[in-house]
A and B are shown apart, each in its own frame.
Chain A
Amino acid sequence: MITCPSCARAQSPALVCVGCGAPLGANLDLFAALDLPRRLTIDPAALERAYHDLSRRLHPDRFAAAPAKIRAASLRATANLTRAYRTLRDPAARGRYWLELHGRKLGDDNQRVPAELAAMVFETQERLEELRDERTPEALAGARERRLSVDAALAAAGRALAENFARWDAAAATADDERETRFAELKAVLSKIAYLTTLLRDIDRELETARAA
Chain B
Amino acid sequence: MAYSDKVIDHYNNPRNVGSFGKADADVGTGIVGAPECGDVMKLQLRINPESRVIEDARFKTFGCGSAIASSSYVTELVKGKHIDEAMAIKNTAIVAELNLPPVKIHCSVLAEDAIKAAIGDWKKHHGDAEPAAEPRRAREG
Choose among A113, A129, A198 the residue that contacts B32 (Cβ–Cβ < 8 A). A113
Contact indicator A122/B38 (Cβ below 8 Å): no
Scan B108-138; emit 1 where CB is below 8 A from any A CB, else 0.
Answer: 0100010001000000000000000000100
Bound CA span A194–B33, Å: 12
State whether A110 and B40 are in contact (beta carbons under 8 Å apart), knowing that A122-B31, A192-B35, A194-B35 are contacts in the complex.
no
Asked if A202 is at the interface (CB within 8 A of a chain B CB), the reply is yes
**Segment 76-131 of A: residues with Cβ below 8 Å from B:** 106-107, 109-113, 115, 117-119, 121-122, 125, 129
Choose among A106, A111, A115 the residue that contacts B31 (Cβ–Cβ < 8 A). A115
Bound CA span A198–B34, Å: 11
Contact indicator B35/A113 (Cβ below 8 Å): yes
State whether A118 and B36 are in contact (beta carbons under 8 Å apart), knowing that A110-B139, A112-B136 are contacts in the complex.
no
Asked if A195 is at the interface (CB within 8 A of a chain B CB), the reply is yes
Asked if B3 is at the interface (CB within 8 A of a chain A CB), the reply is no
Bound CA span A118–B63, Å: 13
Scan B90-121; emit 1 where CB is below 8 A from any A CB, else 0.
Answer: 00000000000000001001000100010000
Closest chain B residue to A119, Cβ basis: B31
Contact indicator A118/B38 (Cβ below 8 Å): no
User: How far, in Å, is B15 (CB) from chain A's closest CB?
Assistant: 19
Asked if A55 is at the interface (CB within 8 A of a chain B CB), the reply is no
Asked if B46 is at the interface (CB within 8 A of a chain A CB), the reply is no
User: How far, in Å, is A203 (CB) from chain B's closest CB?
Assistant: 12
Q: Which residues of B contact A122 (CB under 8 A)?
A: 31, 33, 40, 42, 60, 62
Please tell me the number of chain B residues within 8 Å of chain A, measured between CB atoms.
18
User: How far, in Å, is A113 (CB) from chain B's closest CB?
Assistant: 4
Closest chain B residue to A199, Cβ basis: B38
Contact indicator B106/A195 (Cβ below 8 Å): no
Closest chain A residue to B37, Cβ basis: A198
Q: Which residues of A contact B35 (CB under 8 A)?
A: 111, 113, 191-192, 194-195, 198
State whether A121 and B33 are in contact (beta carbons under 8 Å apart), knowing that A110-B109, A195-B38, A202-B38 are contacts in the complex.
yes
Contact indicator A113/B34 (Cβ below 8 Å): yes
State whether A112 and B106 are in contact (beta carbons under 8 Å apart), knowing that A122-B40, A122-B42, A198-B38 are contacts in the complex.
no
Q: A111-B35, A129-B62, A198-B35 are in contact. List 13 more A-B contacts (CB 8 A).
A: A110-B106, A111-B136, A112-B136, A118-B33, A118-B40, A122-B31, A122-B33, A122-B40, A122-B60, A125-B40, A194-B36, A195-B35, A198-B38
Chain A positions within 8 Å of B, measured between CB atoms, are: 106-107, 109-113, 115, 117-119, 121-122, 125, 129, 191-192, 194-195, 198-199, 202
